[in-house]
Amino acid sequence: MSDSLHSLNLHDLRLLSLLLAERSITRVAEASGQAQPAVSRKLQRLREVLADPLLVRSGTRMVLTERAQTLREPLREIMAQAARLEAGGSFDPAKAERAFHIVCSDCLPPDFLPGIVARLASAGPRIAAHIRPADAAFDLAQALDDGSVDLVINNDPRPREDLRMAVLFSDEIVCLMRRGHPLAQERRIPLARYLRMRHLAPHTGSQPRTGPIDGELAKTGYQRQIVATVPEFNLAPYALLESDLVFTTARRFADHYAARLPLVVAPAPAELPPMRFYQLWHERSHASAASRWLRGQVQAQAAPAG
């Protein structure tokens, strides 16, 4: 080895933990807000210090070496210990150097995440905010366990029971459609008619019908007719402009686009209960002063929604 293991600091270990979780220099660069060449250089140094390649190519993907596999649990313990040490102190964002990593659903109101970024970026000169989508390719459970993700913001009706949770807000479920749609004047769309409508939905991974809307319908044995999907939630309103498709979503999201595009909002069937949005975090960071501050910022951003 050209370097000593003792030369690695906590930032190096956080990056190593993220590399082992993501198994991709590109995704680590995006998640950490660093340039890919910088991450590549740091990976090369970690390989030299640990005398192991850590990540090797297997076909089109990167896999962990045996040594890297053995490092995952010790790294998780180190990150947990660091969180406990941090919990004993205070957190001053004006003086602290900290990058916060948040994973979120893309169905949030369009102004919600920009508001969080603005809050964090203006809190201190060395505070960074990195937000990524909750996609199927990302091992979120491992990232929460090892500390490479600080917080999850989501609306899945079945959050992990082992995680801490705080509700941010609840929102009425509505239908978004173009002006002039045959049902645009409905005061509330009856369930029978709703099930006959042609629906647009976001495509999440390989299964487009796994969200809270279809989960609620499945409880009563119903299934809507999804005839089109889009890869991103915020593309859906634009796909409604020239069709009679209907997009079911939360009112804050729908109202945002109805105020900017020729779209109208109608209440969804009464059988669909309000959609609940919440933040999730790991027990290991529950007492952390930095984590408490972050959760407070997110809660404050949600407060106007009530």
pLDDT digits (tens, 9 = 90+) for 220-232: 889 999 999 998 8
Two tokens, residue 260? 């900017």
Instruction: Tell me how far CA of residue 56 lies from CA of 49, 59, 62, 101, in angstroms.
Output: 17, 10, 5, 25
The mean per-residue pLDDT over the stretch 182-201 comes to 90
Amino acid at 229: T
**Radius of gyration of the CA atoms of the chain, in A:** 22
Note the pLDDT tens digit of each residue in 262-280: 999 999 999 999 998 999 9
Out of 138-142, 240-244, 293-297, least confident range: 138-142
Q: How far apart are CA 112 and CA 104, in angstroms?
A: 11
Instruction: Tell me how far CA of residue 199 lies from CA of 52, 196, 245, 273, 299, in angstroms.
Output: 51, 9, 5, 18, 32
Q: How far apart are CA 294 and CA 101, in angstroms?
A: 10
User: Per the confidence metrics, is the pTM higher than 0.85?
Assistant: no
Two tokens, residue 278? 């919440």
With H, G, I as helix, E, B as strand and everything else as coil, classify residue 136.
coil
pLDDT band at 32, cuts 50/70/90?
low
Q: What is the pLDDT of residue 35?
A: 74
Q: Where are the beta strands (DSSP E) in 124-218?
A: 127-133, 151-154, 164-171, 173-178, 198-202
Q: What is the pLDDT of residue 78?
A: 84
Note the pLDDT tens digit of each residue in 87-144: 556 889 999 999 999 999 888 999 999 999 999 999 999 999 999 887 766 777 778 8
Residue 45 pLDDT > 50: yes
Note the pLDDT tens digit of each residue in 48-77: 999 999 999 988 888 999 999 999 888 888
Q: What is the pLDDT of residue 179?
A: 94
